[in-house]
């Protein structure tokens, strides 16, 4: 409810009640609720839970009940993977979960994306707060609610979540949720994550939690409205049905568990699962040394123009608490879609802890309960509620990488770890989105499964795994190209081929990413998009002297049809981006490089779009890498001679890759000495390097040396973040037009007759 | 009927001899250095029991059938030749990257969700042995880029120079148009002619798998190539052994698709997991003969718990992308799930929930459970069973391992009891309950994802620990009947004795039965029928090559159908051999809708997303005589009261305070039809029946027995 009533000073209780009622009746709009979004801890134990725990608290029995609920969730997850229609359902980009009646996530499916389940807590709490007592909505057995608007509780609008209330003897005792990354949502660009959105109304469907089913039946009028709002009506209907039946399956399993163990046992198990997890997390945090670790990451564009967008993190650990302090990060962008949300930052960090630090813990929200988060209001991580956020990943993922780096530094020296220590995973979506008319006459809009090919970080004792998984999901699937080509009108001419030298160098290298060369074939209305950071500033850092990943551009070859060259000049094609771009084998074609920020671009038959997946961060000094491991990478064609020598300083016989051990040791010794010679005292470095303000030639956003003061694109635009004017950027096309018009005007002036 | 069937396992070679209505089970240790020795030994044990001679058996049997773990072992040991992979240029990393998820295939859920622990297995073909050739076929089979022969020859030589001993050729979309794969083989043959000493085996992917999916198909072909030599030598030496001993008919090899064939019609890959699959086949046969209805087959051994599913009405459950060892393949294989649960599963204290976790880590046989007294310090399920009194120290594994009570108690106390502040007995009860729950949840998930309810099933419990935990698992699932099958310790060999000769042939296609946008129904019947006819012809040729009468050959047509672009493909047994009308299509759609609704819930069908057929599959088979197992189970008329008194020992059971005096029997001392009331423990040579309170045992023949629930609270499933 609106808080105006609190501002006006002391009132009688009766007046306050009347005022509250009036304000409630006069509410214009139940928008995303900051109070709900702010709180990520556990709700208080309800009376119902108290009674249940008094009656049922035997740990062995609770464990068996939890296992039973888990089995139901995993069964439902498998069902969702099978009957979901969206590509995301096939790759594991989804989840199923159970929530307490108050809306806390208590158990999520073993597979799938943790953040999905985590965020549905907020929409559930929204329904509890606004709809449950609203006579025009209400919550009844057999109802289902759907939403996609990220501000109510999804990672972004491309995801759709369906909730089903679970009743027992007429009483709401839990919520059930199923989420799929659907992709298409009717935005100005196809595929669900428009990069050219300047307002939230460009972002397509903005569904707040809405009752879409009664009596376990989807309401066809609402389904039709939703189908009418997106490009893929088949997907919209099919997956609403899939999610509804999956939630019904979970409901059935929950009711069976209640029938067998009693409702108190189920309620107690759900609640104790949360409380026990929080207690355990506090114990584990207590094992860390107290202190502060800081890290910054930079996004290098807004997806419309270049910019240095700072994500600033200081992670404080004291006792059994962690505080993630993101103050000093970039201010929000009023008309760019790269703003994140606090709930998505927090939700993604639950993934960090549950997949990389304590993967043995149950997947529930209590993992974050002992953690606090501090953001600047109006920052890119805590923007004003009306700013666009369709591309929240463009800053969100950096907040995650900064956190992974900080946490890694805290836990490195711990004697007891709960899994292996690892350098940062590659965390960006270097993959094509697509949309248009397929060879089968269907309109589609979605994202390629290559999102799942991110490289794993290096370990303290071995190399990382090549293109293994997206950092936010386990057992995700890159898919099979033969099936993809059957459905969609483009071909990967080079597909999932590890890219030479695409390696974060170190004692142990990160897992490498693969390259993709795609070309449209067989449609007259189909195009691609690309929305990723890291074309100028690397996304992922190394650890303890290890190199970061590379910067990755989008490369394009236009003015040529690769399929025509296959037929007529079959030897021209080269099977790597480096060769295609450096050797330029197609005469007369245009070769260009860009940031990985491609607004929807209609493709012509056979023109080539090329990118590479990223590599995970490396570990340790490259000069300490075992020369034999360097040779193994050589033998596998993963690195060039240039890298073997210039980075790793290995001397070897190029004919048979035999290492000259002594010469290598000498070369490395010389390099170490060179490093010393190139170095300078820290104070000198600071004097030489540090400036008072950001450089004027780079549009810089975020704090510089004082977290209180942030910059907004220029050394001259700075101040406390709340005092800054909204950052409204011109449309790059207008900028270009203006520049061309100026050129034209100048030319006209020089040659008045032309 | 006279038949020999053999299951060569990791430890034992099991033999099942059927001779004019008599059945004999025998075992011998597997002899890795020469499998024939183990076979001969097991067979000798069997025929001597019937007073026969080797010559009589070898000249008298109508068939000798093998199920073998030879391939599984070769994979575990990574024992195979150095293979070169020739693939489409641009796709060289598909196998090393293994669809990303390859890091977790074949691992437990716990490891799958632990990304830092994720690591792909050592490759069967390392990256330097993979080359890409300049060629490209489109999804519809159009040659986009003709193969470049010079490039190909250079790549082949490169692989040979690196030591390739054979080739896998897997080119994109070759199942739609294999022309380029065939050219590659021709050129390899030109370079290294087959009559020359330097010839190489070549495996073309489209011949191994008929379906799309370049990674899984290549992976299948690699496994096939990797195992080929080992399997060929192993199995042909067995066939030679049979010849030497006077057997002059072809040896039959059991396939993981649920059929069998001669060596000349068997891919190495088809033999993997053939033993467990044969066990499921035996279960199916038993279910039909004894009218058991739906059955869930469970095999609980020391380290794993296998689950298979047989339902009435001939519905078959296959995995079309099964995981073999750590690799996903795409051959059709009888569906089988393995959980990390068994007697050796390790129990540990769970600090967070203040209870215990059991498995998936196992103490295996070395050091084994703590009670083995071989250095194992961690408590296991077997330790719990021992502490609870179900196992006697001097009778475990036929008395071959003497158990140490002190070790079991100490491990249970130190690792669990102390931390929870409870006695060893209470800790052991927790471990038993947790283990039973884990297995029950595995079964429930398995059935429920397919639309079945466990309480409507009979549980078949075999394997060394099956009868010991059967009641505990069934209690949780509300299953009322457990059948411990006859010959349970060699049950897979029994299954091998009942297989038909069968071959699968399948093809991928993009066939829209119903187009939701245009509302059109499929009408190109000729296209469909020609594909079916081709597949039938391939199956027929396979069977005729083995000397079978073409008139005996039957075909079963299966279609993998789905709504829209779903992942779920429901296999529908096509009611007609050829498609001739719209009514045929509507019949198919109705069948599909019915099966889908049963699996995912009535109303969940999505015809509005369109309906497609993705695979056409033909099973071609010849039905053979079956071993009859019907009379080995007691009927109501056979039931009689058990012996009075008997040796009693205290046992502990969940939800019952204190020790309960439990009667111990020896199975071999009990007559057919004897009813043993609970609580009781009945030990046989091969297993231990634990008759928990609320149950009774009805003794059958050949080690079989019914465990029936007496309690009325779950009558629905009775």
pLDDT computed for residue A8 by the predictor:
53
Average pLDDT over residues B118-138: 96
Is B407 part of any domain? yes
Alpha helices in A294-430 (DSSP H): 342-352, 393-411
- Region B257-267 average pLDDT: 86
Position A2 pLDDT exceeds 50 = no
- B715 pLDDT more than 60: no
Q: Does B100 share its domain with B40?
A: no
Report A:444-503 residues touching B (Cβ under 8 A): 452-453, 456, 459, 465-469, 471, 474-483, 485-487, 491-498
Q: How does residue B313 score in pLDDT terms, banded at 50, 70 and 90?
A: low
For B566, the closest of A85, A442, A476 (CB atoms) is A85
Whether A60 sits inside 8 A of B433 (CB atoms) is yes
Domain boundary pick from B604, B622, B640: B622
- All residues of chain A having their beta carbon less than 8 Å from the beta carbon of residue B456 are none
Print the domain residue range for B600: 502-622
Does the beta carbon of B319 lie under 8 angstroms from any beta carbon of chain A? no
A183 in Cβ contact with A86 (< 8 Å):
yes
Residue B127: list chain A partners with CB under 8 A: 635-638
Confidence category of residue A3, pLDDT binned at 50, 70, 90: very low
What is the radius of gyration, based on Cα positions, of chain A? 27
How many residues comprise chain A? 754
Which of B115, B142, B307 best tests the A interface by mutation, with the highest count of A CBs <10 A? B115
In 3D space, the residue among A389, A378, A395 whose CA is nearest the CA of residue A198 turns out to be A389
In this predicted structure, the answer to whether residue B185 has a pLDDT above a threshold of 60 is: yes
Q: Which long-range contacts (CB under 8 A, 24 or more apart) does A415-421 make?
A: A416/A287, A418/A284, A418/A357, A418/A358, A418/A359, A418/A360, A419/A356, A419/A357, A419/A358, A419/A359, A419/A360, A419/B114, A419/B116, A419/B117, A420/A459, A420/A460, A420/B116, A420/B117, A421/A459, A421/A460, A421/B116
List the CATH number of the domain containing B608.
3.30.1490
Taking 80 as the threshold, does the pLDDT of residue B686 lie above it? no
- Report, as an integer, the average pLDDT of A125-138: 96
Q: What is the mean pLDDT of chain A?
A: 95
Look at residue B29 in the predicted model and tell me its pLDDT: 78
Is B455 inside any structural domain? no
Residue-level pLDDT at B711: 62
**Are B90 and B227 found together in one domain?**
yes
Indicate whether B685 pLDDT > 80: no
Q: Looking at the domain assignment, is residue B263 inside a domain? A: yes
- pLDDT tens for each residue of A328-365: 999 999 999 999 999 999 999 999 999 999 999 999 99
Looking at the structure, do residues B110 and B225 belong to the same domain, yes or no?
yes
Task: Indicate the range of A297-306, B299-308, B705-714 predicted with least confidence.
Answer: B705-714
Could you say which of B435, B460, B487 is where a domain stops?
A: B435
Q: What is the pLDDT of residues B3-31, one digit of tens each?
A: 999 988 766 788 999 998 888 988 887 78
Q: What is the predicted pLDDT for the residue at B113? A: 85
Q: Is residue B388 domain-resident?
A: yes
B351: which chain A residues are within 8 Å (Cβ-Cβ)?
A: 280, 283
B521 falls within a domain: yes
pLDDT for position B718: 30
Mean pLDDT, range B65-73, rounded to an integer: 82
CA distance B585 to B221: 35
Task: Calculate the CA B400 to chain-centre distance.
Answer: 29
Segment A663-691 shows an average pLDDT of: 96
Q: How far is CA A311 from the centre of its chain?
A: 15
| Residue B160's CATH number | 3.40.50
Distance separating alpha carbons of residues B209 and A236, to the nearest angstrom? 34
Q: Is B441 on the interface with A (CB under 8 A)?
A: yes
Q: Touching check for A209 and chain B: CB below 8 Å? A: no
Digit-coded pLDDT (tens) for B90-101: 999 999 999 999
- Is the predicted pLDDT of residue A115 greater than 90, yes or no? yes
Determine what percent of chain B is predicted with pLDDT higher than 90: 55
Q: What is the ipTM of this complex?
A: 0.93
In this structure, the answer to whether residues B214 and B265 fall within a common structural domain is no
pLDDT of res. B370: 96
* Geometric angle at alpha carbon A256, from A251 and A260, rounded to 5°: 150
SS3 labels along B648-706: EEEECCCCCCCCEEEEEEEHHHCCCCEEEECCEEEECCCCEEEECCCEEEEECCCCCEE
What per-residue confidence (pLDDT) applies to B603?
A: 86
What is the pLDDT confidence band of residue A754, given thresholds at 50, 70 and 90?
A: low
Say which of A85, A356, A477 has its CB closest to residue B116: A356
CB within 8 Å of chain A, chain B residues 527-566: 563-566
CB of B77 within 8 Å of a chain A CB? The answer is: no
- Mean pLDDT within B125-134: 97
- Considering CB atoms only, which of A253, A273, A497 is closest to B91? A497
pLDDT-derived band at B717 (thresholds 50, 70, 90) equals: very low
Task: For chain B, give the number of residues.
Answer: 718
The domain locations on chain A are: 1-30, 31-284, 420-679
Nearest to A63 by CA among A254, A253, A268: A268
Asked, for residue B587, whether it belongs to a domain, the answer is yes
Shared-domain flag, residues B366 and B430: yes
Predicted pLDDT of residue A719: 97
Q: What is the DSSP letter of B88?
A: E
* Greatest mean pLDDT range, A14-28, A407-421, B449-463, B554-568: A407-421
Among B215, B231, B247, the domain-final residue is: B231
Contacting residues for A614 by C-beta, under 8 A, at least 6 apart: A426, A428, A430, A454, A455, A502, A513, A534, A539, A540, A549, A550, A552
User: CB within 8 A of A684, min separation 6: which ones?
Assistant: none
Q: How confident is the model at residue B329 (pLDDT cuts 50, 70, 90)?
A: very high
Q: Is A675 left (phi over 0), alpha (psi -120 to 50) or beta?
A: alpha
Residue A394 CB contacts under 8 Å (≥ 6 apart), including other chains: A299, A302, A303, A337, A338, A531, A533
Calculate mean pLDDT across residues B595-620: 89
In this structure, the answer to whether residues B183 and B265 fall within a common structural domain is no
Residues from chain B contacting residue A276 (CB–CB below 8 Å): 352-354
- How many whole angstroms separate alpha carbon B431 and alpha carbon B373? 20
Give me the mean pLDDT over the A550-559 stretch: 97
pLDDT (0 to 100) of residue B79 = 82
B182 lies in the same domain as B44: no
pLDDT in tens, B507-552: 888 899 999 888 899 999 999 999 999 999 999 998 988 788 999 9
What total of structural domains would you count in chain B?
A: 4
Residue contact B97–A466, C-beta within 8 A: yes
What are the pLDDT digits (tens) for A603-628? 999 999 999 999 999 999 999 999 99
Phi-psi region of B548 (alpha: psi -120 to 50; beta: other; left: phi over 0): beta
Instruction: Based on the fold, state whether residues B70 and B87 are members of the same structural domain.
Output: no
Assess whether B219 and B87 both reside in one domain. yes
CATH code of the domain in which B9 resides: 3.30.420
Answer yes or no: is B577 within a domain. yes
| Residue in B with minimal Cα distance to A469 | B100
Cite the DSSP H helix spans in A325-367: 342-352
Instruction: State how far the Cα of B178 lies from the Cα of B274, in Å rounded to an integer.
Output: 29
Residue of A nearest to B607 (CA): A238
Judge if B608 and B513 occupy the same domain. Answer: yes
Is B23 a member of any domain?
yes
Q: Which of residues 240-259 of A touch B (CB under 8 A)?
A: 241-242, 245, 248-249, 253
pLDDT in tens, B646-681: 899 999 999 999 999 999 999 989 999 999 999 999
pLDDT of residue B33 exceeding 80, the answer is: no
Residue with token string 């059929």 = B259
Same structural domain, B66 and B108 = no
Instruction: Based on the fold, state whether residues B29 and B122 are members of the same structural domain.
Output: no
**pTM score, whole prediction:** 0.91
Tokens representing A478 are 């890159």
Classify each residue of A200-237 as buried b or exposed e, where b means 16 or more C-beta atoms within 10 Å of its C-beta: bebbbbbbbbbbbbeebebeeebbeebbeebbbbbbbb
Mutation to test the A interface, candidates B90, B439, B509, most A Cβ within 10 Å:
B90
> Is the distance from CB of A506 to CB of A626 less than 8 angstroms?
no
Judge whether B558 and B257 are in contact, CB under 8 Å: no
By the CB < 8 Å criterion, does A282 face chain B? no
Query: Nearest CB to A89: which of B116, B353, B567?
Result: B567
Q: Is A652 helix (H, G, I), strand (E, B) or coil?
A: strand
Question: B716: pLDDT confidence band, cut at 50, 70 and 90?
Answer: very low
Q: 3-class secondary structure for A471-503?
A: CCCECCCCCCHHHHHHHCCEEEEEEEEECCCCC
- What average pLDDT does chain B have? 90
């Amino acid at each position: 409810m609106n808080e105006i009533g609190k501002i006006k000073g002391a009132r009688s209780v009766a007046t306050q009640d009347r005022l509250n009622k009036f304000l409630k009746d006069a509410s214009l709009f139940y928008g995303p609720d900051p109070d709900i979004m702010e709180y990520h801890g556990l709700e208080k134990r309800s009376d119902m839970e108290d009674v249940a725990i008094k009656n049922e608290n035997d740990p062995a029995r609770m464990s068996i009940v939890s296992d039973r609920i888990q089995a139901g969730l995993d069964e439902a997850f498998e069902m969702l993977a099978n009957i979901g229609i969206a590509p995301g359902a096939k790759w594991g980009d989804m989840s199923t979960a159970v929530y307490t009646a108050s809306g806390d996530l208590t158990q999520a499916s073993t597979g799938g994306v943790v953040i999905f389940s985590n965020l549905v807590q907020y929409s559930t709490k929204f329904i509890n707060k606004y709809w449950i007592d609203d006579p025009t909505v209400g919550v009844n057995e057999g109802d289902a609610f759907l939403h996609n608007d990220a501000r109510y509780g999804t990672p972004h609008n491309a995801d759709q979540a369906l909730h089903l209330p679970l009743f027992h003897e007429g009483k709401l005792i839990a919520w059930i949720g199923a989420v799929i990354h659907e992709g298409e949502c009717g935005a100005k660009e196809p595929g669900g994550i428009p990069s050219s959105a300047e307002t939230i109304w460009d972002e397509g469907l903005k569904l707040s939690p809405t009752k879409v089913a009664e009596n376990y039946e989807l309401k066809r009028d609402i389904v039709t409205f939703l189908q009418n709002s997106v490009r893929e009506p088949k997907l919209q209907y099919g997956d609403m049905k899939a999610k509804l039946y999956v939630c019904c399956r979970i409901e059935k399993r929950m009711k069976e568990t209640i029938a067998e163990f009693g409702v108190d046992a189920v309620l107690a198990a759900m609640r104790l699962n949360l409380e026990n997890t929080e207690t355990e997390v506090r114990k584990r945090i207590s094992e860390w040394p107290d202190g502060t670790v800081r890290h910054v990451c930079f996004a290098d564009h807004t997806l419309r123009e270049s910019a240095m967008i700072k994500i600033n993190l200081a992670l404080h650990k004291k006792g059994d608490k962690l505080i993630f302090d993101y103050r000093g990060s970039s201010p929000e962008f009023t008309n760019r879609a790269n703003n994140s949300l606090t709930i998505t930052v927090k939700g993604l960090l639950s993934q960090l802890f549950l997949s990389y630090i304590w993967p043995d813990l149950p997947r529930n929200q209590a993992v974050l309960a002992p953690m606090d988060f501090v953001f600047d209001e109006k920052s890119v991580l805590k923007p004003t509620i009306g700013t666009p956020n369709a591309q929240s990943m463009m800053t969100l993922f950096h907040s995650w990488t900064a956190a992974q780096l900080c946490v890694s530094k805290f836990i490195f020296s711990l004697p007891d770890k709960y899994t292996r220590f690892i350098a940062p995973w590659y965390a960006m979506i270097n993959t094509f989105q697509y949309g248009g008319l397929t060879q089968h006459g269907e309109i589609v809009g979605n994202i390629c499964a290559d999102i799942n090919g991110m490289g794993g970080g290096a370990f303290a004792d071995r190399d990382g795994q090549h293109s293994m998984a997206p950092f936010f999901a386990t057992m995700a699937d890159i898919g099979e190209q033969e099936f993809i080509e059957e459905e969609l009108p483009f071909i990967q001419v080079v597909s999932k081929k590890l890219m030479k030298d695409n390696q974060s160098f170190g004692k142990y290298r990160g897992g490498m990413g693969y390259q993709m060369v795609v070309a449209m074939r067989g449609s007259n209305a189909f195009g691609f998009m690309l929305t990723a950071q890291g074309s100028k500033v690397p996304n992922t850092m190394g650890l303890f002297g290890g190199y970061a990943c590379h910067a990755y551009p989008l490369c394009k070859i236009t003015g040529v049809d690769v399929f025509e060259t296959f037929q007529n000049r079959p030897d021209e094609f080269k099977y790597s981006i480096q060769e295609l771009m450096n050797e330029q084998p197609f005469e007369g074609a245009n070769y260009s490089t860009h940031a990985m920020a491609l607004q929807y671009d209609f493709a012509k038959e056979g023109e080539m779009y090329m990118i590479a997946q990223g590599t995970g961060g490396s570990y340790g000094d490259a000069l300490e890498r075992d020369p034999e491991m360097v040779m193994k990478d050589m033998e596998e064609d993963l690195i060039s001679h240039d890298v073997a020598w210039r980075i790793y300083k290995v001397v070897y016989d190029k004919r048979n890759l035999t290492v000259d051990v002594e010469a290598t040791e000498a070369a490395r010794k010389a390099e170490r000495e060179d490093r010393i010679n190139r170095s300078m005292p820290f104070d000198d470095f600071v004097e030489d390097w540090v400036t008072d303000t950001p450089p004027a030639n780079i549009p810089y956003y975020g704090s510089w040396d004082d977290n209180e003061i942030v910059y907004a694109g220029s050394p001259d635009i700075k101040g406390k973040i709340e005092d800054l004017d909204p950052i409204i950027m011109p449309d790059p096309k207008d900028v270009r037009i203006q520049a061309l018009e100026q050129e034209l005007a100048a030319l006209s002036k020089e040659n008045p007759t032309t | 009927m006279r038949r020999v069937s053999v299951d060569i396992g990791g430890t034992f070679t099991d033999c099942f001899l059927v001779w004019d209505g008599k059945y004999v089970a025998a075992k011998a240790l597997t002899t890795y250095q020469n499998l024939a020795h183990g076979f001969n030994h097991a067979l000798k044990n069997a025929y001597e029991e019937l007073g026969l001679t080797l010559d009589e058996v070898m000249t008298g049997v109508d068939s000798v059938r093998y199920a073998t773990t030879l391939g599984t072992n070769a994979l575990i040991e990574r024992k195979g030749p150095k293979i070169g992979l020739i693939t489409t240029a641009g796709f060289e990393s598909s196998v090393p990257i293994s669809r990303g998820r390859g890091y977790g295939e074949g691992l437990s859920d716990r490891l799958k969700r632990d990304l830092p622990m994720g690591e792909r297995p050592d490759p069967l073909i390392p990256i330097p042995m993979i080359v890409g050739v300049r060629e490209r076929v489109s999804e519809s089979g159009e040659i986009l880029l003709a193969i470049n022969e010079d490039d190909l020859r250079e790549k082949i030589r490169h692989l040979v120079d690196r030591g390739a001993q054979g080739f896998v050729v897997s080119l994109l979309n070759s199942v739609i148009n294999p022309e380029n794969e065939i050219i590659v083989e021709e050129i390899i043959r030109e370079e290294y002619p087959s009559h020359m000493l330097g010839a190489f085996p070549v495996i073309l992917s489209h011949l191994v798998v008929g379906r799309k999916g370049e990674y899984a198909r290549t992976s299948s072909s690699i496994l096939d190539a990797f195992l080929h030599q080992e399997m060929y030598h192993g199995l042909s030496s067995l066939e030679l052994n049979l010849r030497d001993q006077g057997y002059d008919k072809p040896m039959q090899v059991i396939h993981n698709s649920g059929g069998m064939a001669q060596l000349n019609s068997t891919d190495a890959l088809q033999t993997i997991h053939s033993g467990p699959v044969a066990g499921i086949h035996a279960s199916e046969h038993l279910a039909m003969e004894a009218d058991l209805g739906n059955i869930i087959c469970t095999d609980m051994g020391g380290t794993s718990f296998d689950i298979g599913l047989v339902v009435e009405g001939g519905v078959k459950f296959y995995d079309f992308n099964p995981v073999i060892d750590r690799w996903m393949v795409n051959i059709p294989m009888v569906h089988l799930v393995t959980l990390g649960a068994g007697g050796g599963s390790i129990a540990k204290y769970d600090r967070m929930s203040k209870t215990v976790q059991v498995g998936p880590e196992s103490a295996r046989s070395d050091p084994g459970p703590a009670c083995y007294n071989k250095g194992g310090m961690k408590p296991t399920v077997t330790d719990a069973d021992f502490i609870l009194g179900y196992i006697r120290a001097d009778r475990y594994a036929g008395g071959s391992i003497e158990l140490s009570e002190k070790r079991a108690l100490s491990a249970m106390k130190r690792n669990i009891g102390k931390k929870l502040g409870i006695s060893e007995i209470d800790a052991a009860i927790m471990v038993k309950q947790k283990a039973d729950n884990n297995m029950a949840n595995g079964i429930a998930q398995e059935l429920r994802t397919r639309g079945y309810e466990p309480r409507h099933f009979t549980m078949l419990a075999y394997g060394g620990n099956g009868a010991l935990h059967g009641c505990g698992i069934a209690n949780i699932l509300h299953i009322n009947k457990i059948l411990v099958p006859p010959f349970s310790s060699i049950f897979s060999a029994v299954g091998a004795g009942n297989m038909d000769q069968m071959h699968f042939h399948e093809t991928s296609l993009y066939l829209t039965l119903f187009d939701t946008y245009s509302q059109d129904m499929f009408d190109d019947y000729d296209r469909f029928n020609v594909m079916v006819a081709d597949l039938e012809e391939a199956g027929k040729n396979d069977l005729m090559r083995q000397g079978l009468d073409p008139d005996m050959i039957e075909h079963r047509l299966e279609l993998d159908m789905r709504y829209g672009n779903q992942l779920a493909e429901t296999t529908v047994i096509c009611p007609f051999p050829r498609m001739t009308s719209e009514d045929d299509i509507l019949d198919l759609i109705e069948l599909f809708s019915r099966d889908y609704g049963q699996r995912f819930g009535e109303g969940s069908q999505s015809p509005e997303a369109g309906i497609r057929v993705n695979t056409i599959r033909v099973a071609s088979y010849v039905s053979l005589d079956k071993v009859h197992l019907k009379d080995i189970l007691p009927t109501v008329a056979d039931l009689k009261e058990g012996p009075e008194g008997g040796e009693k020992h205290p046992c502990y059971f969940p939800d019952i305070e204190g020790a309960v005096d439990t009667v111990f029997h020896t199975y071999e001392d009990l007559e057919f039809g004897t009813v043993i009331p609970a609580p009781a423990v009945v030990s046989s040579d091969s297993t231990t029946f634990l008759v928990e309170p609320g149950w009774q045992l009805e003794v059958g023949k050949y080690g079989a027995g019914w465990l029936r629930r007496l309690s009325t609270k779950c009558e629905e499933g009775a």
